[in-house]
Amino acid sequence: MSKSKRLMELMMAVNRKRKFTVKELAQEFGVSSRTILRDLQELSELGVPLYSEVGPHGGYQVLRERILPPIAFTEDEAVSIFFAVHALRHYASLPFESESSAALSKFYYYMSGDTRDRIDQMKNRVDFVTPERQISAPYLSILLDAAIQQKVLLIDYESRDKRTIHDIQPIGIYSRNGLWYCPAYSFHHQEVRTFRCDRMHSVAPSDMEALDLSHIHLENREVITRTDQEHIALYAELTRKGVKMYEAEPWPVLNMQTREDGSGWLEGKILTSDIPYFASFFIGLGHEVTIKEPSELLACIQSTLSELMDKYG
């Protein structure tokens, strides 16, 4: 193997391992230790941040930065990466250390001139918008950490009507439409609930013993948690226009089906406690929706309407 090839592979190897010894690499590459030492010095000169310690359990390490070996990206790939990261700028809070803008400028800086030109042209023409919020969610990384390490947290939470302090065991966090949510097992409610991260006034480690929820994560939490709660079937007809309106603002739990003529219907099971929200929602759809069931929803809509008539009458 030629030296240059070995250097490239060496670069990948030291990236893969966090720690390694000269002897180890010498055997792996089938060259002498002396050669590896010389190679490592050369890598060092090329910018790979190597650090070494002598003595037993000593060895080499790659510091802070990890050098990615020459990755081949197509221009399109580079462009999509750029815009994906660029879209993160809309977020007031992120669960990472948020050095993504640093990453972005590095990426941008190393791109070939004409790819950069293309990006510059596109910069003001494409965007992934997320509503800009004043609200910040400072505890994202703590929550994420707890979810990964299966730890219990004590939170001071302000819900719609009251403020309580209780223990939760986070399952994960996700952002939707600019807000961060945290599905978590609530020891107080004895079930999985979703909390708004910006409504947490404080988050601290708790002494409580964690449950084994490692098999529950963001993708499957609904399947698992939606068993022992009060659900009720919903069925509603949509006009052609109603279909379009619903498409613009769908609810994850309601499944929409369309017919050939453009009309359609909604089916799904909803939480009884969510009925008031669905009531507002369907009122917004006006004549374009006709609710068949549940009757509880119809009743709720009627009472909401008559209250509103009093207000606006």
Partner DNA sequence: ATAATTATGACAATCCTTGTCACTATTATC
Partner DNA sequence: GATAATAGTGACAAGGATTGTCATAATTAT
Footprint on residues 53-112 left by DNA (CB under 7 A) = 53-60
- C-alpha 247/C-alpha 288 separation (Å) is 13
Residue type, 161: D
What is the C-alpha end-to-end distance of the chain, expressed in Å? Answer: 87
Among residues 55 and 313, whose Cβ is nearest to a copy of itself? 313
Q: Please check whether residue 14 is in contact with residue 50, taking contact to mean a CB–CB distance below 8 angstroms.
A: yes
b/e string for 65-98 if b means 16 or more Cβ within 10 A?
eebeeeeeeeeeebbeebeeebebeebbbbbeee
Per partner kind, with CB cut-offs from 5 to 8 A, the member of a copy of itself, DNA, none near residue 11 is a copy of itself
Binding mask 253-282 for a copy of itself (x = CB under 8 A): ---------------------------xx-
Angle, CA of 251, 255 and 259, to the nearest 5°:
125
Give the C-alpha distances (Å, rounded to integers) separating 136 from 126, 180, 209.
25, 9, 29
Among residues 212 and 230, whose Cβ is nearest to a copy of itself? 212
CA atoms lying within 13 Å on the CB side of residue 195: 35
Closest distance of CB 146 from a copy of itself, Å: 10
Among residues 293 and 307, whose Cβ is nearest to a copy of itself? 307
Per partner kind, with CB cut-offs from 5 to 8 A, the member of a copy of itself, DNA, none near residue 41 is DNA
Q: Which of 46, 204, 211, 233 binds a copy of itself (CB under 8 A)?
A: 46
Q: Which of 1, 55, 57, 72 binds a copy of itself (CB under 8 A)?
A: 72
Residues 165-184 that bind a copy of itself (CB under 8 A): 171-177, 179
In terms of C-beta density within 10 A (0-12 exposed, 13-18 middle, 19 or more buried), how is residue 225 classed? Answer: middle
Q: Is 252 in the site for a copy of itself (CB under 8 A)?
A: yes
Q: Please check whether residue 150 is in contact with residue 213, taking contact to mean a CB–CB distance below 8 angstroms.
A: yes
Q: Please check whether residue 214 is in contact with residue 150, taking contact to mean a CB–CB distance below 8 angstroms.
A: yes
- C-alpha 93/C-alpha 154 separation (Å) is 21
Per partner kind, with CB cut-offs from 5 to 8 A, the member of DNA, a copy of itself, none near residue 54 is DNA
**Which of 313, 258, 265 has its CA nearest to residue 293?**
265
Cα-trace Rg, the chain: 28
Binding mask 107-136 for a copy of itself (x = CB under 8 A): x--xxxxxx-----xx-xxxxxxxx-xxx-
Binding mask 1-30 for DNA (x = CB under 7 A): -xxx-x--------------xxx------x
Among residues 62 and 203, whose Cβ is nearest to a copy of itself? 62
Contact window for a copy of itself (CB under 8 A) among 27-35, 58-66, 225-233, 267-275: 58-66
**Which of 233, 234, 243, 235 has its CA nearest to residue 288?**
243
Helix or strand (DSSP H, E) at 10: helix 3-16
Binding mask 4-43 for a copy of itself (x = CB under 8 A): xx-xx--xx--xxxx-----------------------x-
Among residues 1 and 54, whose Cβ is nearest to a copy of itself? 1
Q: Is 201 in the site for a copy of itself (CB under 8 A)?
A: no
Residues 202-241 that bind a copy of itself (CB under 8 A): 217-219, 241
* List of residues contacting DNA (CB under 7 A): 2-4, 6, 21-23, 30-35, 37-41, 52-60
